[in-house]
Chain A
Amino acid sequence: MQLARLTTIVLGVGFAAGCGDNFEAPNFPTTDCTSATTAHCLEIHGGDSAGLVTAANSIEAGTTIVLGAGTFEMTGQLTLRTPGAHLIGQGIDVTTLDFGATTTQGNGVDAIGNDFLIQDLTVLDAPKDGIRVEASTGVVFRRIRATWSQASSSSNGAYGIYPVKSQNVLVENSRAENASDAGLYVGQCQHVIVRNNTVTGNVAGLEIENTQYADVYGNTAEDNTGGIVVFDLPGNPIVGRDVRLRNNLIRNNNHVNFASGGTVGNIAVGTGTFALASRRVEITGNTYQGNNTVDIAVLSGLAIEQDVTKWTLPTATLSGSYADLGLLPGGPAGTIMNFRGENIVIAGNKHTGSGTRADAGDPLMLGLLLLLAYNGQAVDSVLYDAIGEPAFHSTDAALNSNANHLCIGGNTGGTFASMSLERQSPTVQIPFFRPAAPFRPFDCTALAGGPVADVVLP
């Protein structure tokens, strides 16, 4: 580290002098360059935002930037494009990158580069996304927070913690708050672990979108509009698969929906979890509590986009593995469609106190349908839209099909209903099918093709 330390000193002097700062002792109570694991390391004292931006734009591959205690007043996004960049502060409440005075468009931290790590700091009031890491392999978010100082503001940035189009992603012991779209948003990634994070005050707390092989456990989603959701968007060439939500706490997600429209604008206030246009999903061992509309909803993509041509993807454009999924063929040769919600296991979850006050105002009118259907009773713990089921009957289990292989058999701590959503409207109400445990014909307990495998990061 000797050479790296020398580099640090040279840079530090240059910038302290340039900015007319005093030569203050750096403030690194928790971490400094002696513990860096990269080939190079720089220390930037707390508040030296100019020094930080210069360092970010000058570092060699494999450089740790250690940030001192204090608040860095940022005038624009912090842009990193160097492989092996590690950004480490002195603690989630000790080092803050504050973008509140930024007058230009941009994210907070905007990084592209393999082996990226961000740790022990807070990103505050970013104009767009808090921390966006894109097209990178090997990404770690650890003990960080992305937040906006004003709660429930639709002008807050979209996503707090946002790894996108990346591989081998770990997000742990972090917090995401007050995002106007999703607090912790994993988009179009492969091989992901999201664990022991807390998401609060967001529209969507934690989203897994068009993502393959994700293990989401030990997280707390509280006071969001929707807690933890899994979905594919139409037209995206990564078909989501193999997502495991387990042992999370998902409670009181009854926050007003303050999104300015978009997919999350459709989320009914009081939604614990939905899986939409998703396949090979396991939702197990979670604790659901006090989500006013419903704990878990299993939905077809057609619930938000009815035009199947928009769910049609040429197989030549697809990323990742899909051949074993048995996806529906599209109209044109060489295409598939991914709107189905299928091959989902829901088991061993605890459900208490939810479904007691469904949202009457969500754009999809799901909440309104529930209010009408349940008429004062609590909504069942798990709801299924039954879109794509060739057979539906309100009372006779033998006259219901389970073509989408939805397995509720092991979810004996909760209740279940399917609802033939395609035929429902506020004026045409078809009684829900509400079987008792083990919820025949949805009484299977295992995914077709075997369980979701553990995600092992290199």
Chain B
Amino acid sequence: MPGRTQATLLLAATWLSSAGCGGGGDDDDGPGPRGPSGPVTVDLDAPPPVLLSAYHLFTWDPAAGFAFNDRVVPYDVNTALFSDYALKQRALYLPDGTTARFDPDRPLDLPVDLPVGAVVMKTFYLPADLRAPGDAVRLIETRLLVRHADGWHPLPYIWDAEQHDAVLTPAGEVRAISFVDAAGAVQVASYLIPQRNECQSCHAEQDTATSPIELVLIGLKARHLNRAHDYGGSIGARNQLDRLTELGMLSGAPAAASLPAAYDFRPIEVSGPAGLAPAALDDAARSYLDINCAHCHNPRGVQGMTSQLFLDHASTDLFHLGVCKRPGSAGSGNGGLTFDIVPGDPDMSILYFRTATAKVGAMMPLLGRSLTHGRGAELVRAWIAAMPADDCVTVP
């Protein structure tokens, strides 16, 4: 596995230096490909466009990478959802004259008040060989969440074979994608491009089982965004939250240095979790579970609340974290085990089993993974192993 993160970073760096992926392009005086030819167009009253290019959000060129339009700002997250090793380019668009409002009552949930017309986009792509991440890159899909007055509307676009444009595809697709991983082994993913309705498997929350379901953002939260990003050109590396404030796209946020940050997974992807101090191991594991599991497994998760297993960063109750907890409805996904987490014993813990297995019908997350994320599973394993041992059977 060593080298994957490095490769990813190299790829990103290649693009940043050559493409100057700066949001708010007026500050960007670097050379680069031409971005979209007109202003961003988001018509909330019309049916969604069939072609992604109609939004004028960004352009893609195999040689030069992504180029973003005005008020389209790329961002990255500290720990990412694992999606069969696909690399991701994320960006946020806000209409002219609007800002995201930082809510001091929900400081970890940055986008509680993103304006109508906002678009959050994520493009998934893979090179042929993760050891040469700038070569033979194929864009797979771009997922949009478009903010309407009644909430977020999800729209899946699939890139065409010529890589010229992406086409709105409500049915999604399951596609066999082979690539060489960072260790030089061939991997074949049954890569899931979600159906439009499947967006709601992850992006849906409600207060109780009878409350209205609302679509929510997952990664666009202060703790995930709170990290440096190289904007290229004359801007260089800046904290992403501070940069949004500078651009006038975020109001009311304190300096990023005063805000919490999720753990940066990148060093773990390179070296694994060995040697992490106890506090860092806990922080890293909780950040990993938060971004990979808590979109369902939180007290407001429509499908996750069924299990009463809550892995969001804010949940601290040990039982609901899975410690000595019997699963609610794991069915045959339990791997023959009894408890979600047996402290000190990952091999007896369903949480580790479902993270490590690639068995269809048993693996977690529910959607979007067909391969095992080796480093992620190692991290969860190390986290459970480091807990004070408890057999979960002897009643205290």
Q: Which residues of A come within 8 Å of B, CB atoms? A: 50, 53-54, 56-58, 75-77, 79-82, 102-106, 110, 112, 127-129, 134-135, 137, 154-159, 164-167, 180-182, 185, 187-188, 233-237, 259-263, 265, 304-307, 309-310, 319
CB contacts (< 8 Å) of B149 on chain A: these are none
| Cα-based distance from A145 to B192 in the complex (angstroms) | 27
7 tightest A-B contacts by CB? Answer: A158-B331, A57-B170, A103-B190, A165-B209, A79-B197, A181-B331, A81-B197
Kindly identify which residue among B171, B308, B336, B367 contacts A236, using a CB–CB cutoff of 8 Å: B308
Interface residues of chain B, those whose CB is within 8 Å of chain A, are 170-172, 174, 176, 190, 192, 195-198, 200-201, 204, 206, 208-210, 213, 302-303, 305-306, 308, 319-320, 324-338, 359-361, 363, 366-367, 369-370, 395-396
Cα(A105)–Cα(B396), bound, Å:
38
| Interchain Cβ contacts within 8 Å, total number | 153
Instruction: Kindly report which residue of chain A lies nearest to residue B299, judged by CB atoms.
Output: A317
Pair A319/B208 contact, Cβ less than 8 Å: yes
**Which of B320, B337, B361, B369 meets A157, CB within 8 Å?**
B361
Q: A76-B192, A128-B333 are in contact. Are A54 and B171 (CB under 8 A)?
A: yes
Q: Determine the main DSSP class of B at the interface with A.
A: loop
**Cβ-closest chain B residue relative to A129:** B331
Q: In the docked arrangement, what's the CA distance between A363 and B286, Å?
A: 33
Rounded to whole angstroms, the CA-CA distance of A58 and B334 in the bound complex is 34
- A134 to B, closest residue via Cβ: B303
Q: A79-B198, A319-B208 are in contact. Are A104 and B305 (CB under 8 A)?
A: no
Contact at A262–B370, with CB atoms within 8 Å?
no
Q: How far is the CB of B363 from chain A (nearest CB, A)?
A: 6
Partner of B360, one of A80, A105, A237, A265: A105
Contacts of B306 in A (CB 8 A): 134, 164-165, 187-188
Residue of B nearest to A107 (CB): B366
Query: Once the chains bind, are B329 and A50 in contact (CB under 8 Å)?
Result: no
* Contact in complex: B338, A57 (CB < 8 Å): no
- Point out the residues of chain A lying under 8 angstroms from B325, CB to CB: 234-235, 310
What residues of chain A lie closer than 8 Å to B171, measured between beta carbons? 50, 53-54, 57
Evaluate whether A167 and B210 lie within 8 angstroms (CB atoms) in the complex, with A79-B195, A103-B174 already known. yes
Q: How far is the CB of A30 from chain B (nearest CB, A)?
A: 26
Closest A residue to B215 by beta carbon equals A81
Give chain A residues whose Cβ lies under 8 Å from the Cβ of B305. 165
* Given A181-B332, A262-B338, A263-B326, 12 more pairs with CB closer than 8 A: A57-B195, A58-B196, A105-B192, A105-B361, A105-B363, A105-B370, A128-B333, A137-B210, A236-B328, A261-B334, A261-B335, A309-B319
CB-CB under 8 A from A56, the residues of chain B are 195, 197
Contact A235 B308 (CB under 8 A): yes
Given A104-B190, A105-B370, A57:B208 Cβ within 8 A: no
Specify the chain A residue showing the minimal Cβ separation from B208. A319
Bound: A58/B154 CA distance, A: 12
| Sampled A-B contacts (19; CB under 8 Å) | A53-B195, A57-B196, A76-B174, A76-B195, A77-B198, A79-B197, A80-B197, A82-B197, A105-B370, A135-B206, A159-B329, A180-B331, A236-B328, A237-B308, A262-B330, A262-B334, A265-B336, A307-B324, A309-B319
Does more than half of chain A's interface fall in helix, strand or loop, or is it mixed? loop
Min CB distance A47 to B, Å, is: 15
**Contact indicator B172/A57 (Cβ below 8 Å):** yes
A106 to B206, CA, bound (A): 21
Instruction: Across the interface, name the chain B residue whose C-beta is closest to A317.
Output: B299
The residue in chain B whose Cβ has the minimal distance to the Cβ of A310 is: B319
A307–B195 alpha-carbon span in the complex (Å): 42
A78 nearest CB neighbor, chain B only: B195
Give the complex CA separation of A64 and B360 in angstroms. 30
Q: Complex formed: what's the CA distance from A310 to B336 in Å?
A: 21
B residues near A235, Cβ cutoff 8 Å: 308, 319-320, 325, 328
Q: B197 touching A233 by the CB < 8 A rule?
A: no
Are A157 and B332 neighbours in the complex by a CB distance under 8 Å? yes
B378 to chain A, nearest CB (A): 21
Q: Which residue of B lies closest to A302 (CB)?
A: B395
Give every chain B residue within 8 A of A304 (Cβ-Cβ): 326
Q: Which residues of B contact A180 (CB under 8 A)?
A: 331-332
- A260 nearest CB across to chain B (Å): 4
B204 CB contacts on chain A under 8 angstroms: 112
Residues of A near B195 (CB, < 8 A) are 53, 56-57, 76, 79
Whole-angstrom distance between the Cβ of A423 and the nearest chain B Cβ: 16
A180 to B334, CA, bound (A): 11
Separation of A172 and B201 alpha carbons in the complex (Å): 27
Contact A156 B326 (CB under 8 A): no
Distance to closest chain B CB from A151 (angstroms): 15
Q: Which residues of B contact A182 (CB under 8 A)?
A: 331
Of B195, B303, B332, B359, chain A has the most CB atoms within 10 Å of the CB of: B332
* Interfacial chain A residues near B335, Cβ < 8 Å: 260-261
Separation of A260 and B331 alpha carbons in the complex (Å): 8
**Contact (Cβ within 8 A) A306 B395:** yes
Cβ contacts under 8 Å, A158 to chain B: 329-333
CA A76 to CA B308, docked complex, whole Å: 26
Bound: A268/B206 CA distance, A = 38
Would you call A261 and B361 a contact (CB within 8 A)? no
With A56-B195, A137-B210, A260-B332 already in contact, the answer to whether A104 and B174 are too (CB < 8 A) is yes
- The minimal Cβ–Cβ distance linking A155 to chain B, given in whole angstroms, is 7
Least CB distance from A107 to B in Å reads 8
A76, closest chain B residue (CB): B174
**B199–chain A nearest beta-carbon distance, Å:** 9
The answer to whether B213 touches A112 (Cβ under 8 A) is yes
Q: Which residues of A contact B328 (CB under 8 A)?
A: 187, 233, 235-236
> Once the chains bind, are B366 and A106 in contact (CB under 8 Å)?
yes
B185 CB → nearest A CB, Å: 19
Residues of B within 8 A of A166 (CB): 209
- Whether the pair A135, B363 counts as a contact (CB closer than 8 A) is no
What distance in Å separates the Cβ of A42 from its nearest Cβ neighbour in chain B?
13
A104/B208 in contact, CB under 8 A:
no
Q: How far is the CA of A82 from the CA of B334 in the complex (A)?
A: 30
Q: Closest Cβ of chain B: how far from A315's Cβ, in Å?
A: 14
A54 adjacent to B170 (CB under 8 Å): yes
> A135 to B213, Cβ gap below 8 A?
yes
Pair A57/B197 contact, Cβ less than 8 Å:
yes
B192 contacts A104, CB within 8 Å? yes
